[in-house]
Every structure is written in structure tokens, then in C-alpha cells.
Amino acid sequence: MKRLLILVFVASFGVLYAQPGKVYTSLSEVNDPNAVYSLKLTYKRLKAVPPEIRQMKNLQQLDLSKNFIDSIPSWIGELSQLKSLDVSRNWIHFLPETVEQLSSLELLDASRNPLEELPVTIAKLASLKQLVLWKTGIYELPPSIVMLNGSLKVIDLRACPLTLEDQELISDLLPDVKKVWDQACNCSH
């Protein structure tokens, strides 16, 4: 009976301690990096992704939007439990090749960044359902993205400098994906 009570206490304490539903909004709140499942660091004036995040192995949702971040570190791929990554409204010019390691990623929002291309490895994100690239400099996708045609549900390319030809190429690569974009521009790349 004592063992059962101890097991129940330990199990209950673990659940209370981890708090999977808690959204952390400051790194100073974090006592145990493994207890963090959701981290929202918006409007923090961050210029880089805080290295403390690397230790958060159970992290599922990471929101770094609305900061001044100019690059994503290659160790981002170590966050294998990540399901949602929002890096919108920053100064990011490229995504690292290691994003391919984010095998659980379902949502990637890189909108409103000076991003001009995606890494070829993005095609390895077999769980990706939403790719938001609204108001970036993206005008073409790597041909390998065709591998996401079965899993990807929506790609948002509004306010991107896409010509009619660009849109047709993307449609050919991703015929089963809902594409959200503006009327084709008369722009040159």
C-alpha cells in the first residue's frame, strides 16, 4: 500500500511539475528545461535565438515572432518534439539545413522576413501541414518540395513576388496543396 501511495504521489507530482498546458513567456520562469512544452517569447527585442532553448528537449511550440532575430541556429534541429515554429516578423534571411530534423513539425511560420529561399531539406518535413511564407521574398520553391505534396495542406505565399509562371511552377510541384497567394505580379527577380 505504501508503494502504491508513493507511486501515485510521484506520478501526480511529475504531472503537476511538467505542466504540459503551461505557456512560458519568459526564460526566467523556467526551472526545468525538460518541463517546457510551449514557449512564447514575442516582443522581447531578441536579436538571437536564446541558447537556453536548446536544452528544452520536450518543447512542442516555439513562438519567437515579432523580434529582431536575423538567423536561426543550426541546433534548432535538435528540438525533435517541435510541432509549431513561429519565427514571423523578424529579420531572418535563411533557414538552416538542419530544419530537416524537425520530424514532428506541423506548422512553420516564417512570414514577414527577408527570406528569399528555402533549404532543399525542407522537403524532409513529412509532418508539415502548414507552411506560412506570407510577405517574404520567396518566388520559387526547391523542386524537392514535391515530396510534401501528400502531407502539406496549405502554403501561404501572399504578398510574395510571384509571377504567373512562378505560380504555375508551384502548382505543378504541389497540385494537392491549397495555395494562398495574391494575383501574379509583373515583377522580375
Residue 186 lies in a domain: no
Helix, coil or strand: residue 28: helix
Expressed as residue numbers, the domain containing 175 is: 2-180
Does residue 131 sit in helix, strand or coil? strand
Nearest-angstrom CA–CA distance, 132 and 66 = 15
Going by pLDDT thresholds of 50, 70 and 90, the confidence category of residue 20 is confident
Confirm whether 27 is domain-assigned: yes
| SS3 at position 101 | helix
Characterize the bridge pairing of strands 61-63 and 38-40.
Answer: parallel
**CATH number for the domain that contains residue 156:** 3.80.10.10
d(CA 179, CA 91): 24
Q: Is residue 188 part of a domain?
A: no
User: What are the tens digits of pLDDT across the range 31-72?
Assistant: 999 999 999 999 999 999 999 999 999 999 999 999 999 999
With respect to residue 23, please indicate whether it lies within any of the assigned structural domains: yes
Q: How many CB atoms lie within 10 A of CB 22?
A: 13
The pTM score is: 0.88
Q: Is residue 97 part of a domain?
A: yes
DSSP 50-65: -GGGGG-TT--EEE--
Task: Examine residue 118 and state whether it is found in any structural domain, yes or no.
Answer: yes
Residue 187: inside a domain:
no
Residues 6+ apart with CB under 8 A from 130: 106, 107, 108, 109, 152, 153, 154, 155, 156
Contact 95, 116 (CB under 8 A): no
The answer as to whether 189 is a domain residue is no
Lowest-confidence range among 19-28, 124-133, 142-151, 169-178?
19-28
How many independent structural domains does the chain possess?
1
Residue with C-alpha cell 535563411?
94
User: How does pLDDT run across 114-155, given as a tens digit for each residue?
Assistant: 999 999 999 999 999 999 999 999 999 999 999 999 999 999
